[in-house]
Amino acid sequence: MARVSTYLNFPRNTEEAFNFYKSVFGGEFSGGGIARFKDIPAAEGMPPIDENDKNLIMHIELPILGGHILMGTDAPESMGFKVNFGNNVYINLEPDTRAETKKLFESLSNGGTITMELQVMFWGAYYGSCTDKFGVQWMFNCVEKTE
């Protein structure tokens, strides 16, 4: 089922932030719990993860209000990230099909900047990201296995 969520990037304190949000909204972390950078499988051509970053959060989800999901990640500088106010929030779209994902991705990136081309990721989803011509950041995560 398609859904929309808000994705937050933090410099190194995602766990602290999400424990705070959990204390405010209640509930439990969903989507398989907390995924850490140490859980990323090694890939040829990719540098190893810095020891100081292995326990940081790669992905976390918390249902908040009205079916809305708050998601987040640590964005360590050792991986090329620099979190600033303005680049720390994404609207995450999870369409039902790859065709719909591609259509939305192409439309929203038109006149903007593609930050990651749509591709199948190690967690099995068809994923990509862009910044639209108005500076809004979008993520796409489709779990449909075939087009």
Say whether pLDDT at 147 is over 60.
Answer: no
Distance, in Å, from the CA atom of 17 to the CA atom of 36, rounded to the nearest integer, reads 15
Distance, in Å, from the CA atom of 86 to the CA atom of 131, rounded to the nearest integer, reads 12
Assign 40 a pLDDT band (cuts: 50, 70, 90).
confident
Q: Which of 40-44, 93-97, 132-136 has the lowest mean pLDDT?
A: 132-136
Say whether pLDDT at 133 is over 80.
Answer: yes
What's the pTM? 0.73
Say whether pLDDT at 101 is over 90.
Answer: yes
Question: Which of 53, 52, 50, 67 is closest to 2 using CA atoms?
Answer: 67
Assign 63 a pLDDT band (cuts: 50, 70, 90).
very high
